[in-house]
Structure 1
Amino acid sequence: MAYSVGGESPSTSNTFNSTRSWEYDVFLSFAGKDTRLNFTDHLYHAFIKGGIKCFKDDVDLPKGEDIEYLFQAIEESFCAVLVISQNYAKSIWCLEELQKILEFQNALGRKVFPIFHNVNPADVRDQRESVGKALAELEQKFKGDITKVKEWRKALSDIGSLSGWDARNKPEAELVKVIVGNISTYISATVPYCYVDNLVGIESRVCDVEKILESELDNKRVVVGIWGMGGVGKTTLARIVYQKISCNFQVHCFIANVRDTLQKEGLVSMQEKLLSGIVSNKISDRYQGEGMIRKYLKYKKVLLVLDDVDNKCQLDNLAENPNWFGEGSRILITTRDSSLLAFQEQRMYAMKTMNKNESRQLFLKKAFKDDCHDEDYLDLSNSFVEYTGGLPLALKVLGSYLHKRKRAEWREALDILKQFPDSNIAQVLKISYDGLNAEEKTIFLDIACFFNGWLRKEVTQILKSCHLHPTIGIKVLIEKALLVETKCCTLEMHDLIEKLGRDIVHQESPEVVGKRSRLWNFKDIKEVLENNKGYQTIQAIAIQDNYENQDGIKVHPEAFLKMSSIRLLLLKGMKIDSRLLLPRGFKLPGTLKVVHWPSFPFEALPLETALNELVHVKMHDSRIKQLWNLQPTKMKFIDLSYSKSIIETPDFLGVPHLEHLCLRSCIFLVKVHPSLGELKELVEVDLHGCLNLEILPWELKTNSLVKLDLGECGKVEALPKFDRGMEKLSYLDVSRTAITRLPESFESLTGLRHLSLSGCKICNLDKFSLKVMPLTKLYLSGCGLNDGSIPDGLGNLSSLIALDLSHNDFVNLPTSCFSSLSRLRFLSLGFCQKLESLPRLPPKLIRLNVSHCDSMEPSSDRQLCHLVALLDHEYRGQTEYVISNEEYEEYDDAPSMFKHIELELFP
């Protein structure tokens, strides 16, 4: 509880608090003869130890200075503490100080805290006993200026009337502790808001962190991690929260810039700082320091802020376990690496960048200070704000740099920034990059230069094909706030971090483009490929944007011969067949691991050497006829979708490690070589839309297969035989094929979760028990099903989420057909024109289609109306959820994820 004087709350605003800063927190007024060497000395040192900056004349008053210097110190102090003792009224300096203190109290709302040391407050108020005698003596001394004594009398009367501390017969140590605690509470409750006045957007963030800290019981120990990218304001937020709440703790310590402090001063100095208010002993090594922390702070309520932590060892020797501290302790950690925050009672606060309004406000504040900003600068200001992407550090640095500069200088600065990031900003952001290992740096630079905004799944596939380890590498980048994954499963970098990565590559060779490791700028790529200026340092080339207005690139015949380290070639942003002019005899280097080349103009890959290194090929809409001439033994990923020249596939035994084969909509493909069924590492086969496909492997023995898509392959009449070990197959689509019977081996697919037989007149479907499969999605639209051909066990598919029975010939579905489907959310019976009534519906259904059910009985209309009311009541206002592209993924508790309830009733 904050100490209050005169009935005012510590949070009461005043002119001083809102418009002035101060040099000292406390001005200490006392009679040196009485208390300088005892009570006041203890109080002063307690203030200093508690982080309260205190003015004390024998410490802070320079020799030779007079009372005017004291008056200036009073004016520059946030509040005043007066130790009123037996001889206080005898000291003219004390009385002058008192008068000036009360003057500022009245004029500026300054707080005054009296301590009555061995005197009765009533004696001070009424000028009795020693106070009265002292004033009587002063009246004799100042007979010619009695007005001065009257002013002193009034001042003493006023101070004696204030609520304060009566120190008579009180243990001094305990009283000092109470006084310092109350003063600290008062200052802390007021000081942060003065800082907030000079900051933008901080108040809401402070409130958010305070709520997290206060969300637990007082006896709980809580760790809060403030996490985010460099320059986003983590330290500022932590410092304000610390200043605001530190008074509520027995021990509080803010260790700034742990990363740098550890390097410059060592771990022991930080341990000594944490213990400085408790023990004065020197610490010999970190192990002794750890033991002392656990010993002396075990029963103390501690507030500890560890700022800019980047390594777990820094935590291990300062706060490895919250149980090192007493009940109610709070630990705040600011970091760029979320993986460090793995405490049992840990809470995470993700520090976000500023929104547009906050960004504009901060930028203008720094660029124009207190001056009104010129409207002529508004468009340029918006450009700089957009450039910063809401990063506070960048807004401050750029705003301060542009202060008092002319409009022409603003324009030039903006042009420079578009090419090179500001060095002050880059230096802060680069700290996280420097903390990565060599492979993590490679992944970071690849994403910064090429893959910002791509799907995580696709980036992972490409980087794996380059023999990197992106699963853990991408996770590390996300933990270090260098990368984020969106709800749509894309990877995105802040614009300034992307610019940092690209600048790192640029600095590899500022003058010679061909000596950089990665090329993404069209102009640079054109220079290298046309003039044969590539070197062995080039690892990757990517043309990703649409360059229709650019001249084509006339590729030099030997353009790639010097690029002995190139692993990645992405040409996905332009009409390659017309914009990339390839000479006769053009060859690709044998070091390539990944090639993305839409509209590929050749019938086979023009490789310089054998395909020993090629792992990943994606060539949509290409002219390719032969997938390979030699055996590409390392090939894992082939995507030649929409390629119209492929008629049959080659023998796959030469690609034993193939995992993904996508020949989607290769409309002239007739035959898939039977060797495909022998591949042991095959995961996905996509032949959807191959309209002329007739011949498939007779048997599939690939036990690793997860997805098989034959949808829209209208000439496929039979499925391959499935090996008994194919329980990993979870996605099977044979919709709108010519298949009429399922092979007996079908029931061995015990891992099947997505099954689509829509448009197939399967005559033996009722022979199989689907209940042995963990199906979540079942599509039987247009299968000619009637009342007697419903698949066995349909009502027992407890994991089913989506069921499509539309366009069938049902008249009356069994009463209990759906009622046991406890997880069913989506049901379609649309265009079942013979259906007369609905059976009992599942309890958690949220989407129902019964459109064009022309024979439906009117009574079912009432059932639907009841269902609408029920669903509207139960699911109104739920948050929206976007289903992943992984269609065979299981969704638990799906109804709570959807916002809209769609029921299609009668037309």
Structure 2
Amino acid sequence: MKSFLIKRSKIYSNVHDLIEDMAKEIVRLESPDDPGKRSRLWFHEDIIQVLEDNTGTSAIKTIYLMCENEVELDESAFKKMKNLKTLIIEGSHFSKGPKYLPNSLRVVEWEGYPSEYLPYDFHPKKLAIFNLQKSCITSLKLTDSLKKFLNVKILNFDEANCLTEIPDASSLLNLEEFSFENCENLISIHDSVGLLDKLKVLSARGCSKLRRFPPIKLMSLERLDLSFCMNLKSFPEILGKMENITDLVLEKTPIIELPCSFQNLTHLQTLEVRCCGIFKLPSCILTMPKLVKISAWVLEGWQFPLDKVTSTVSSNVECISLAFCELSNDFFPACLTWFVNVKELDLSRNNFTILPECIKECHLLKKLYLDYCQFLQEVRGVPPNLEIFSALWCKSWTSTDMLLHQELHEAGSTMFYLPGSRIPDWFEHRSSRGSISFWFRNKFPAIALCLVPGSMFATSPIYPIVIINGNKCKLDSRNRNEYGGDHYLQVESDHTYIFDLQKIKFKDNLDEALLNNEWNHVEIMYTDANNHSMLIESGIHVFKQKSRIEDIRFTSP
């Protein structure tokens, strides 16, 4: 089903189970001469007949209609269905709405509900799920109706384009999920929506005319979605500590700043900001104990509160991604000291010209991405424990010698992708034939591999293939490598790639390919996704502190 409730709700997974049960029930339905005698109606021809001819009975408990037909509804069609518990309608087009709906209903999903109001005497005390996606309901007619839904747990008005206001919802004491996504004419939300104690999911995504969101004190809230609210300039104030939200995404809103009360999201772990123009990070971010990941993408500017935080303050954030944020050289001295605990830093596609020496202060940094930083000219420092460094298409950076020093790679575990095409002199063995070979005895040696695609090489994913004594040793897909997928490397022409071959894990058949107490021949080849051989210049360096050099040969022993 297409409904919000099935996609997002644990409760709605039960509805999905119910629909499966209805499918099984088909095989033992009563005789088809009178569909009104059945407890469950599934076939759209039978349902349309009942709704148009008003032949329903109290025996009917479930209706599931999914078709694109036009339905000339008899306004009193549901009046006799006093035991109807589940009503699901998707895709059908009704000429008018019902004058009656049974109070016995527990689940209502009516996509495109055709009336602007609900029946005045509809008082469903046991209604738990109410979905009027794409309905014609209006806020004026909705106000009194909400007071009747004391036990509703899931309420959905997605794409209800006649809805201009979310009225007083204080009577919805058991509401757990409330969604009014893409209501393009919604301009107002009653303050009571921000005070629903049991609410777990709240989504106003895509409400393009909404200018204000009420303050929130939602102790049970797990997910808040305000993305694509194109006129929402302020993030809602948070009136008390909210411990259940762990992830927050803001995408394409004009919000430029988070309030100080943002720190009341005490268990927030991930903050993502995308396409939001100028955005100011609040100083409280540094004291949020659980926040470990900050991700921003395509911002006109990323501002830090320089005047409010001392240099001695640092956060627990471990992963920062600030791609497309127009960062300049000023970013580094102002901000890196606050994020001394960062382990992964993505600064791709930014405007700075220098990676300063202060980057060395990030002692825990293991992954650093500078891809497509077109103005980068100089790298003055390297974090001491860096393992992955990617600087693809940094066209202005011409001197990469600091990143090619043997000492930087000698301990192993490094994976560096750099502009320029040369295999460092400290690689003992090299080949330009598209494959490289060596011999070893005893254990598989610890080696680094350097790849240099030629200037005519087309961008392509390549797959290293390791052949030992004529046996192709498959890589273990359970151990995904660090370069982006199941053991492939996206290579570009005029770049140098250095990585530790030990990062590649073999399946159990490695031992079967080895010869005991004899020399083993290893050939490393490179293929594309179609298993075609790729011509790439390559080199091998042996980590001598991890391998016995006398157990390795580059010519046949």
Q: Could you tell me the TM-score, scaled by structure 1's length?
A: 0.39
- Which residue identity lines up with residue 554 of structure 1 in the other structure? E
- Alignment map for 1:885-904 (pairs within 5 Å): 898-899=485-486
Calculate percent identity across the aligned residue pairs: 22
Q: Secondary structure at the residue paired with 2:301?
A: coil
- Which residue identity lines up with residue 553 of structure 1 in the other structure? V
Q: Paired residue for 1:623?
A: 136
Contact 2:483 2:489 (8 Å CA) reproduced: no
Select the residue among 236, 240, 253 that pairs with 1:724. 240
Residue 654 of structure 1, CA deviation? 1.8
Select the residue among 91, 100, 105 that pairs with 1:587. 100
Structure 1 position 613 matched with structure 2 position 126 = yes
- Which residue identity lines up with residue 670 of structure 1 in the other structure? I
- Which residue identity lines up with residue 592 of structure 1 in the other structure? L
Structure 1 position 678 matched with structure 2 position 231 = no
Root-mean-square deviation (CA, aligned residues, Å) is 4.5
Contact 1:622 1:642 (8 Å CA) reproduced: yes
- Alignment map for 1:591-670 (pairs within 5 Å): 591-606=104-119, 608-626=121-139, 627-630=142-145, 631=147, 632-670=149-187
Residue ranges of structure 2 left out of the alignment (5+ in a row): 377-393, 405-414, 419-448, 451-460, 466-473, 496-557
Per the alignment, do residues 560 and 788 of structure 1 end up closer, same or farther by CA in structure 2, a change over 3 Å counting?
closer
Residue 767 of structure 1, CA deviation? 5.1
Q: Larger Rg: 1 or 2?
A: 1
Residue 679 of structure 1, CA deviation? 1.0
Q: Secondary structure at the residue paired with 2:36?
A: helix
Q: Paired residue for 2:56?
A: 534
Contact 2:246 2:269 (8 Å CA) reproduced: yes
Contact 1:603 1:624 (8 Å CA) reproduced: yes
Contact 1:706 1:728 (8 Å CA) reproduced: yes
- Alignment map for 1:474-623 (pairs within 5 Å): 500-504=24-28, 506=29, 508-509=30-31, 511-545=33-67, 547=68, 552-574=70-92, 576=93, 580-582=94-96, 586-606=99-119, 608-623=121-136
Structure 1 position 811 matched with structure 2 position 332 = no
Name the stretch that deviates more: 511-520 or 862-871. 862-871
Q: Secondary structure at the residue paired with 1:525?
A: helix
Q: Paired residue for 1:348?
A: none
Encode CA deviations 1:154-197: one digit per residue, 9 max, x unaligned: xxxxxxxxxxxxxxxxxxxxxxxxxxxxxxxxxxxxxxxxxxxx
Encode CA deviations 1:377-414: one digit per residue, 9 max, x unaligned: xxxxxxxxxxxxxxxxxxxxxxxxxxxxxxxxxxxxxx
Residue 573 of structure 1, CA deviation? 3.0
Q: Distance in 2 between matches of 1:904 and 1:718?
A: 43
Select the residue among 692, 697, 703 that pairs with 2:219. 703
Q: Number of residue pairs matched?
A: 402
Q: Distance in 2 between matches of 1:639 and 1:803?
A: 34
Q: Distance in 2 between matches of 1:460 and 1:744?
A: 33
Per the alignment, do residues 462 and 498 of structure 1 end up closer, same or farther by CA in structure 2, a change over 3 Å counting?
closer
- Alignment map for 1:146-161 (pairs within 5 Å): none
Per the alignment, do residues 455 and 660 of structure 1 end up closer, same or farther by CA in structure 2, a change over 3 Å counting?
closer
Q: Distance in 2 between matches of 1:694 and 1:523?
A: 45
Q: Secondary structure at the residue paired with 2:166?
A: coil
Q: Secondary structure at the residue paired with 1:721?
A: coil
Per the alignment, do residues 542 and 732 of structure 1 end up closer, same or farther by CA in structure 2, a change over 3 Å counting?
same
- Decide which structure has greater strand share: 2
Q: Paired residue for 1:25?
A: none
Q: Secondary structure at the residue paired with 2:321?
A: strand
Select the residue among 454, 461, 482 that pairs with 2:11. 461
Residue 739 of structure 1, CA deviation? 3.3
Per the alignment, do residues 677 and 669 of structure 1 end up closer, same or farther by CA in structure 2, a change over 3 Å counting?
same
Residue 525 of structure 1, CA deviation? 1.0
Q: Distance in 1 between matches of 2:23 and 2:123?
A: 37
Per the alignment, do residues 454 and 707 of structure 1 end up closer, same or farther by CA in structure 2, a change over 3 Å counting?
closer
Q: Distance in 1 between matches of 2:304 and 2:194?
A: 37
Contact 1:703 1:723 (8 Å CA) reproduced: no
Contact 2:58 2:82 (8 Å CA) reproduced: yes
Residue 731 of structure 1, CA deviation? 2.8
- Which residue identity lines up with residue 715 of structure 1 in the other structure? N
Q: Distance in 2 between matches of 1:501 and 1:788?
A: 63
Contact 1:880 1:898 (8 Å CA) reproduced: no
Residue 788 of structure 1, CA deviation? 8.6
Encode CA deviations 1:351-371: one digit per residue, 9 max, x unaligned: xxxxxxxxxxxxxxxxxxxxx
Q: Secondary structure at the residue paired with 2:113?
A: coil
- Which residue identity lines up with residue 617 of structure 1 in the other structure? F
Residue 498 of structure 1, CA deviation? 8.3
Q: Secondary structure at the residue paired with 1:502?
A: helix
Per the alignment, do residues 718 and 677 of structure 1 end up closer, same or farther by CA in structure 2, a change over 3 Å counting?
same
Residue 867 of structure 1, CA deviation? 3.6
Contact 1:786 1:809 (8 Å CA) reproduced: no
Q: Distance in 1 between matches of 2:5 and 2:464?
A: 34
- Which residue identity lines up with residue 138 of structure 2 in the other structure? K
Contact 1:757 1:783 (8 Å CA) reproduced: no
Residue 652 of structure 1, CA deviation? 1.0
Contact 2:229 2:252 (8 Å CA) reproduced: yes
- Which residue identity lines up with residue 61 of structure 2 in the other structure? Q
Encode CA deviations 1:498-541: one digit per residue, 9 max, x unaligned: 8644213x1x4554322222212111112222222222222221
Residue 457 of structure 1, CA deviation? 5.2
Contact 2:131 2:156 (8 Å CA) reproduced: yes
Residue 459 of structure 1, CA deviation? 6.9
Q: Distance in 2 between matches of 1:807 and 1:741?
A: 15
- Decide which structure has greater helix share: 1
